[in-house]
Amino acid sequence: MPDSPSDEVTDDAYEAPYDLAVIGAGCAGLAGAVTASELGLSVALLDASGQIGGQFYRRPAPALGAKRPEALHHDWSAFADLRGRLEASEVVHLAGHHVWAVTRGSEGGAGWAVHAVTGPDGGGDRPVRVRARTVLLATGAYERHLPFPGWTLPGVVGAGGAQAMMKSGLVLPGSRVVVAGSGPLLLAVASSLATAGAHVPAVVEASGYLGYARRPGVLAANPQKLVEALVHGAALLRYGVRLRTRSAVTEVHGSDRVEAVTVSRVDRDWRPVRGAGRRIACDALAVGHGLVPQTELATGLGCATRRTPDGAYALVLDGLQETSVPGLWAAGETGGIGGAQLARAEGDIAGIAVAARVYGQPALTRDGRVRKLQRRRDRMRAFADVMAAAHAPGPGWVRWPDDTTEVCRCEEVTAGAIREAVTDYGAHDARTVKLLTRAGMGWCQGRVCGAAVACLAAGPGDGSVPPSAERRPLAVPVPLGVLGALEPDDAGADSTGRPDATGPDPGAEQTS
Amino acid sequence: MVGAACAYYAARSGLSVTVLDRGPVAGGTTGAGEGNLLVSDKEPGPELDLALLSTRLWQALSGALSPRIEYETKGGLVVASDETGMAALRDFADRQERAGVTTEEVTGDRLRDLEPHLAPDLAGGFHYPQDAQVQPALAAAHLLRAADEQGSGRVRLRLGEEVTGVLTGAHGEVRGVRTVGGELHAPYVVNAAGVWGGEVARLAGVDLPVLPRRGFVLVTEPLPRVVRRKVYAADYVADVASGSAALQTSAVVEGTPAGPVLIGASRERVGFDRTLSVEVLRRLAAQATRLFPVLARIRAMRTYAGFRPYLPDHLPAIGLDPRVPGLLHACGHEGAGIGLAPGTGLIVARILSGEELPLDIEPFRPERFDGV
Amino acid sequence: MARDRTPAELAGAAPEAAFEITFDGRALPALPGQSVAAALWSAGIVAWRTTRRGGRARGAFCGIGQCYDCLVVINDRPNRRACLVPARPGDTITTQEGDGHAGLAV
C-alpha cells in the first residue's frame, strides 16, 4: 500500500492484533515486512517518517517533484524493488508513528503492545497502540559524535545529518563544507555533497585505511564494498576533494557561525600530534564518528547486548535474527552497523523466521533460500566487523576537548565539569557522571553525548571504554496529556513484567 | 545517602571510617529518588521525630556543603479535591501541629496564590513550610567529600568493592568485613545497604526483612519554575502508610532548579523488576495533569524506576544489633531515606562514640521483627 | 567541476510553487515538502534557538530528529523539531529562547 500519513489512518488499523509489528521502515524493516506479508502474515509497519526508506533511502517529499531521486543514492533499484513489493502487499504502513515503548501484551504476557505518538515530530494529541503477536525491531542507528572546541557553533552539523537534509530537503548547510570524523560514511557524504554542488575542501579521517588491509580475505569476499568505495573515490577525484587520513578537526573557528576549522595530524590512538594544525576556511563542517545501533526499545525489554569492535552496543541475535527475548526479532543496524544490503538480508531472514514461528512450521527456515541469505549475512557481518575495527575511536580523542568545551549539548555540560566529577567526586561511570553533572539528561537523552561521556568518565588515559548499553525507558518524549489519555486496559498487565526475575541492577538508570 | 551521612557524622566524632560500596556513589535508591526532605507526609510518632531532627540537621548541612546540592526550603502543599478530603487533612495537620510541625490551612480560593497553575476546582489544602528538597546524588557526593575533609585522612572511600562476608570473632562479635578485595578489620560495621540491607544482614547471620517497593518517576522537558512547591494530593499520605503489595499511585509534582518537573509517586511490591509499566505512567500522568492542567501539553522525556527499602512497619532499622555485637544497621527508610539520613547518621555516630542520643531509638530496634 | 549545480537540479526537482513563511518577522520562501529546517537552510539561516543557560545559538545538527538541537517555535508552539516538521504556507517561525516556556513561569 502507498505511504499513508498518520492522520489518514483509520481506527481499524489499531483494533485487531497483527501477526507482526515491524518498527522502522528502512531497508531492514521493509524487507522484513514484505517478506512476512508475502508469506501470508498480517503486518503493521510503523515508522516515524512520513515516507518509507529510512535514513539510507531518505528522499524528497513528493511535493518537491524530484524526477531523479536516485541521483542522490546508491543501489536505488533495490529500494525500488522493496517499494514495489510493499505497494503490492497488504502491509499496513503507519507513517508518522514514533514508538515510545514496546511492552508485553496484557493478560499473561502473550504478544506485544507497541505504543506510539503520531505526527511529523510526535506532537499528535492522541495515543495509539498496536497489538502484535511478534515484533521486528528495525530501528536503525544514529551518528556517534565526539566533542572538540567549537563543535556547537551553528554550521557544524552531523555528517549523516548533512546527507539527510540534502536527500530530503535538497539543501546544503553551506557552500564550502569540510567533512570530518571517521568511518565509511564520510566518503559517501563528501561525494554526494560535492556532486550536489558544494565545494568540499577536504575529507578529514582520523583513522588510516590500513585496518582493512589486515583482513584481505574478508575484503575479497565483499567485492561490492570495494565498488562502493571506488564510486565515492572517483567522485572525490572528479571534484578535487582531498582525503586527509590520520587527521582530525580539533577546533572550529567563528563567532556566530563556522568560518574555518583547524585540522591536526593525529597518531594511531587519535592523539593530536604536536605542531601547528592546518587552517581551512569553510562555512560548514559535517562531522561524525561512525554510527551507533539504536536499541532502547529492545534493552527496555531486557534484550541482551554485545560489544561491537568499535565499542558500541548491539543486540545479540541468533541465526534467525531473534533477540534473547523470545518473540522479538531485530534486523539491520540494531544488531550491529553493517549497511543497507546487510539490513535487507537480515530483514528477509527475520520475515521468514517470524512466519515460521507464527505458523508453527520451523521447516520454513530450513530451505535453501534461508541458508543462502544466512551465508550472505555472515559474509557482510564479517566485513562490517573489519570496518568497525578500522574506524573505532582511538582513546586519544579525549585530548580534543578543553575544559570549556561542551560535551552535553542539551544541558550545556562542559568537559571540565565532567572531569571534576571524575577526579573530585568519585564518578567513574557514565551514570554517576550524569547524576552529578546532568550530562545526558536533556532532550536527546544522551544519544549525542553518551559515547563521549562514558569515555571521559573512565578517566584520564582511557578513551576507549564503551558506553553501557543504552536504556531509555521512553524512546521518544510523550506529552503528559497523551500518556494520561491511554485507556486503562491498554496497559493491562504490563506491570506484571517479570516479578523478582532480575537481580539488583545498579545499571544505567537516570534521574534528576 | 544514609551511608554518606553515617560517615560524615562518624568522622566528625573523630572516628576513622571506610565507606564500601559495590557500585558508585548514589548507585542505589539515592540515585533514583527525588530528594524529598518531608515532614508533611508523616504521622506523629518516631518517624516524624526523626524527620524533624533531620530537617534541622539538613539546614545546618546546607550551610556547610556546596550550594550545588540544590537544597531548597520550598515547602510542601497538600491539596484536597473535596470537603471530605479537606476535613481529613485538617485532622491530620492538627495532630502534626501538636508534634511540632508547622502547618497552614489554605482555602480553595487562595490555593492559586500559592500555586498559580493549580486546577481551579480544588477544595483547599495545607501548606507545610518545613518541607524541603535536595538533589540526592549531588548531596551524597558532597557529603562524602565533606566527610573526607572532616576526617583529615581518616575517611576512605572504596567504590566498586562488594562486601562478601562479615568477619566475626570467637564470641560472635564483629571483626570487620570481607570484600572482593580482601579483608578489612574494624570493631564496628554499619549496614547502610538500603534496599539490599537484608542481604548484608544475612551475611552477618541475622534476619532483617527489607523488601523493595518500586516507584516510577516521570521527568518532563525543561521548564521555568511552573510549580513552586512540592504539591501532592491528599491520598498520598494514605498510600505511603499502606502496606499493600498492589499498585498505588498518587501524584506528587514538583519543579527542580535544573528545569524538569518531576512526577511521582507510585508504590508496588514487584521485586527488583525495572520493566516499564505503562499503567503506572498513565496513572501518574493523568493525576498530575488533573492537579496541573498546564502540564498536559508538556512532554515527559524519561522515566525511571527506583526501589524503596521497605520494612513491614514502615520504620527504619537504626542502631546496634544485639544478635551480633558490633553490627549496626542504618537502612530500611523506605521513601524517606534522603530526608532521614542526617538524623540516622547522627544517631549512629553517637552510638559509636558513646555520646548521648538525640532521641529515643527504641522503635527502630533492628531485631524487632524476630519471631513476628 | 560543475560548481553551479544544486541538489535540486541534481535530483531533477520540479517543485510545486513556493510559498511564504516568516522567520522572526522576515518573509522567506519555502517549497512544499521541505522541512522548516530545510527552508531556513535555503535562506542561509543555520541558527534558530538559544540555549537555556549560555544563551548560545543553535540550529539543525543531526538532521534526523535525534538530537533536539533544532527546536524552534512554530506558530507559537515551542520545542518543535525543525528538521522533522514540514513548512506550511503562512507559518510563523520564531527563534526559541531557552526552554521556550517563559510564559509559564510563576
Q: What's the pLDDT tens digit per position in C83-98? A: 999 999 999 999 999 9
Average pLDDT of chain A is 88
Among A203-217, B89-103, B328-342, C89-103, the minimum mean pLDDT is found in A203-217
Which chain C positions have a beta carbon within 8 Å of A118's beta carbon?
A: none
- In terms of Cβ atoms closer than 10 Å to its own Cβ (0-12, 13-18, 19+), residue A450 is buried
A161/C61 Cβ within 8 A: yes
Cβ contact, residue pair A115, B268, below 8 Å:
no
What residues in A contact B142, CB-CB < 8 Å? 425
Euclidean distance between CA atoms A197 and A176, whole angstroms: 10
Q: Is B145 on the interface with A (CB under 8 A)?
A: yes
Q: Is the confidence at residue A462, as pLDDT, over 90?
A: no
Q: Residues 6 or more apart from A349 whose CB is under 8 A from it?
A: A320, A321, A331, A370, A373, A374, A377
Instruction: Note the pLDDT of residue B244.
Output: 76
pLDDT at A9 (0 to 100): 67
Instruction: Spell out the domain ranges in chain A.
Output: 6-142+292-366, 145-289, 401-457
Q: Residue A106: pLDDT band by 50, 70, 90 thresholds?
A: low
Residue A190 CA to residue A196 CA, distance in Å, equals 10
User: Is A401 in the C-facing interface, judged by CB distances under 8 Å?
Assistant: no
Size of interface A-B (CB pairs under 8 A): 198
C-alpha cell recorded at residue B64: 556547610
Nearest C-alpha neighbor of B41 from the set B261, B334, B303, B246: B334
Q: Which whole number is the average pLDDT over A479-506?
A: 55
Does A197 contact C42 at a Cβ distance shorter than 8 Å?
no
Pick the residue from chain C with its C-alpha nearest to A60. C33
Residue scoring higher pLDDT (A298 or A224): A298
Q: Which three cell numbers stand for residue B4?
A: 554518606
- Over 90: is that where the pLDDT of A466 sits? no
User: What is the pLDDT averaged over residues A52-76?
Assistant: 88
B135 CB neighbours in chain A (<8 A) are 512
Q: Which residues of B touch C98 (CB under 8 A)?
A: 224
N- to C-terminal Cα separation, chain C: 59
Number of other CB atoms surrounding residue C3 within 10 Å = 10
Q: Are strands B248-255 and B261-267 parallel, antiparallel or unpaired?
A: antiparallel
Helix (H, G, I), strand (E, B), or coil: what is residue B18?
A: strand
How close A366 gets to chain C, by Cα (Å)?
A: 38
CB contact under 8 A, C101 and B228: no
Residue C42: which of A172, B125, B31, B180 has the closest Cα? A172
DSSP A468: P
Please indicate whether, in this complex, the C-beta atoms of B222 and C105 are within 8 angstroms of each other: no
- Summarised one tens digit per residue, pLDDT across range A411-422 is 999 999 999 999
Query: To the nearest whole angstrom, how far is the Cα of C68 from the nearest Cα of chain B?
Result: 11
With a pLDDT cut of 70, the percent of chain A lying above it is 90
Task: Name the minimum distance, in Å, from the CA of C86 to any CA of chain B.
Answer: 20
Neighbours of B251 (CB within 10 A): 25
Q: How far apart are CA A27 and CA A57, in angstroms?
A: 8
Answer yes or no: pTM beyond 0.90. yes
d(CA A261, CA A202): 11
Task: Report residue B102's pLDDT band, with 50, 70 and 90 as the boundaries.
Answer: very high
Q: Do C67 and A447 touch (CB under 8 A)?
A: yes
Q: Where are the beta strands (DSSP E) in B81-120?
A: 104-107
C17 in contact with A, Cβ within 8 Å: no
Does the beta carbon of C37 lie under 8 angstroms from any beta carbon of chain A?
yes
Say whether residue B24 is in contact with chain A using an 8 A CB cutoff: yes
Domain A401-457 in CATH 1.10.10.1100? The answer is: yes
Mean pLDDT of B252-269: 92
Least confident of A302-311, A486-495, B303-312: A486-495
Position A107 confidence tier, pLDDT thresholds 50, 70, 90: very low
Q: Do C104 and B224 touch (CB under 8 A)?
A: yes
Report the pLDDT value the prediction gives residue B6, as an integer from 0 to 100.
97
Q: Which domains does chain C have, with CATH numbers?
A: 27-98 (3.10.20.440)
A395 close to A463: Cβ distance less than 8 angstroms: yes
pLDDT at A505 over 50: no
Q: Please determine whether the domains at A6-142+292-366 and A145-289 fall in the same fold group of CATH.
A: yes
Report d(CA A502, CA A497) in Å as an integer. Answer: 10
- In the predicted model, is pLDDT for residue A508 greater than 70? no
Chain C environment of B222 (Cβ under 8 Å): 52, 99
pLDDT at A496 > cutoff 60: no
CATH architecture of A145-289: 3-Layer(bba) Sandwich (3.50)
**Angle between helix A76-87 and helix A27-38 axes, rounded to 10 deg:** 40
Alpha helical stretches, state H, B99-135: 111-114
Report CB contact under 8 Å: B226, C102: no
Closest to A425 (Cβ–Cβ): which among B141, B276, B297? B141
For residue A463, the model assigns a pLDDT of: 46
Give the mean pLDDT of chain B. 93
Please give the Cα distance from C76 to C78 (Å, whole number). 6
User: Which of C52, C102, C106 is closest, CB to CB, to B116?
Assistant: C106
Domains of chain B: 2-70+135-210+313-369 (3.50.50.60), 76-129+211-310 (3.30.9.10)
Q: Are B284 and B260 in contact (CB under 8 A)?
A: no
CB count, 10 Å around CB of B64?
12
C-chain residues near A71 (CB < 8 A): 10-12
Judged by a CB distance cut-off of 8 A, whether residue B140 touches chain A is: no
Q: What is the pLDDT of residue A234?
A: 83
What pLDDT is recorded for position B58? Answer: 97
- The more confident residue out of C12 and C25 is C25
| Average pLDDT value for residue range C28-45 | 96
| Interface contact B197, partner A, CB < 8 A | no
pLDDT of residue A109: 56
Average pLDDT over residues B223-241: 86
B280/A contact by beta carbon, under 8 A: yes
Q: Does C96 touch chain A (CB under 8 A)?
A: no
Q: Which of A42-51, A261-270, B128-137, B230-239 has the lowest mean pLDDT?
A: B230-239
Contact B272 A301 (CB under 8 A): no
Residue C42 vs residues A192, C6, C30: alpha-carbon distances, Å = 18, 11, 8
The residue ranking higher by pLDDT, A441 or A426, is: A441
Helix then strand count (H, E) for chain A reads 16, 22
What amino acid occupies position A16?
Answer: A
Question: Which chains lie within 8 Å of chain C at 3 or more CB pairs, if any?
Answer: A, B
Which residue among C4, C34, C65 sits closest to A197, beta carbon to beta carbon?
Answer: C4
Task: Please indicate whether, in this complex, the C-beta atoms of C15 and A65 are within 8 angstroms of each other.
Answer: yes
In this prediction, residue A499 carries a pLDDT of 28
Q: With 90 as the cut, is the pLDDT of residue A500 above it?
A: no
Q: What is the DSSP letter of A331?
A: -
Q: What is the mean pLDDT of residues A5-23?
A: 78
Reduced to 3 states (helix: H, G, I; strand: E, B; else coil), residue A334 is helix
**pLDDT recorded at residue A469:** 60
| CA-based nearest residue to A479, from B290, C104, B297, B222 | B297
- CA dist A352 and A136 (Å) reads 11
User: Measured between CA atoms, how close is A139 to chain C, in angstroms?
Assistant: 12
Best mutation target, C46, C51, C91, to test chain A (most A CBs within 10 A): C46
Distance (Å) from the alpha carbon of C72 to chain B's nearest alpha carbon:
14
The nearest CA of chain B is from the CA of C34 a distance in Å of 25
Domain A6-142+292-366 listed as CATH 3.90.660.10 = no
Residues B122-132 have pLDDT tens digits of 999 999 999 99
Residues of B in contact with C52 (CB under 8 A): 222, 259
B222 within 8 A of C49, measured Cβ to Cβ? no
pLDDT value at B202 more than 50: yes
Query: What residues are paired with A103 via a beta bridge?
Result: A113
Q: Give the pLDDT confidence of A221-268 residue by residue, as tens digits.
A: 887 777 777 778 888 888 889 999 999 999 999 999 999 999 999 999
Q: What does the pLDDT read at residue A512?
A: 35
- Which of B113, B219, B223, B228 has the highest number of chain C CBs within 10 A, making it the mutation to test binding with C? B223
